[in-house]
Amino acid sequence: MLIKNLLEMTLIGIDEKATAHVESVCKVGQGKECCKYLIMAMNGWECMKTVPADKKLIDDFYSDSTHNANGDNCNGYK
Write the pLDDT tens digit of every residue in 2-53: 444 444 556 676 678 888 888 999 999 898 899 999 988 888 888 888 888 8
State the pLDDT at residue 9: 53
Number of neighbouring beta carbons within 10 Å of residue 49: 22
H or E stretch covering 10: strand 10-13
Residues 6+ away with beta carbon under 8 Å from 52: none
State the pLDDT at residue 2: 41
Cα 46 from Cα 7, distance rounded (Å):
10
Number of neighbouring beta carbons within 10 Å of residue 51: 23
Domain ranges of the chain: 6-63
